[in-house]
Amino acid sequence: FDANPDSAMIAAGADVARAAGVDSLIGLGGGSSLDCAKGIAFIATNGGVMSDYRGYGKTRVPLWPMIGVPTTAGTGSEAQSYALISDAATHRKMACGDPGAAFRIALLDPELTVTQPASVTAVAGYDALSHAVESSVTSRRSAMSACFSREAWRLLERSYERVLDAPGDVDARGDMLLGSFFAGLAVEASML
């Protein structure tokens, strides 16, 4: 399994899900795992190949309901209606979005982030900080995205160094997870 989901992984996952008679999905892991669950939902419910869904709103039937459980505090994928999937042949990344690709429920449990390596904590946290800043300065920002990005920055700024210095600090981990979620909402609200 590669760190980033690609169209071949999505197709294989969709085959397994259909064969098992699945009618909903739980995405558990980092942003790539969450995006993989979204991609599987696209193909398993609507058929075709992942490139058919590049862009936004190209499904014909509703996607399965999904629950997102992030184990890193970085991408904010649990708050967004897009999946970023690589084409297995060309390795180009495709942004595939749909209103139904948003998780119906996001479970944010900071305990799930405590055991990740320090390097993952650092890179994921930097990703969340970047999303908070990007969504704040984009020309497509809105009052709603600005609200989310400010709150994301407040939570992330006060806890980023803390989670690196004290990885077991569950309160700081909770700030990072919620900050990442708000940064994801800011990206979604600004359509960054």
Q: What is the pLDDT of residues 57-104, one digit of tens each?
A: 999 999 999 999 999 999 999 999 999 999 999 999 999 999 999 999
**Environment class of 181 (CB within 10 Å of its CB; exposed 0-12, middle 13-18, buried 19+):** buried
Beta bridge partner(s), residue 66:
25
User: Residue 73: which of 180, 175, 155 has the closest Cα?
Assistant: 180
Q: pTM for this one? A: 0.94
Residue 3: pLDDT band by 50, 70, 90 thresholds? Answer: confident
Given pLDDT bands bounded at 50, 70 and 90, which one contains residue 2?
low
